Amino acid sequence: MAAGDIETFHQNGIWFNRIEGESRTLGLGYDNREDAVAAGRSASVARQVEHTVKESEGPSDDRSSYGTNPRDRVG
């Protein structure tokens, strides 16, 4: 992930979204994965950045890119 991308993650029974490179989360958190992913996806579309969903264990398993990310272009 690059700074500015959105990550949805699970911690202590609550789902959160955060901007990569920032310590605070976006909003107060969500009781379920679906609501958190929808909010993270919406924030990613608005910012035209990548959205990653990190399950409670292991590496991210779901990644989507919205907009034009320079790292996606081949020189």
For residue 73, the model assigns a pLDDT of: 44
For residue 38, the model assigns a pLDDT of: 97
pTM above 0.75, yes or no: no
Q: What's the rounded Cα separation, in Å, for the pair 56 and 66? A: 24
The mean per-residue pLDDT over the stretch 9-38 comes to: 94
The mean per-residue pLDDT over the stretch 3-27 comes to: 92
CA distances from 73 to 45, 67, 68, 69, 70 (A): 18, 12, 9, 7, 5
Encode 6-44 in three state secondary structure.
Answer: EEEEEECCEEEEEECCCCCEEEEEECCHHHHHHHHHHHH
Residue with more model confidence, 13 or 71: 13
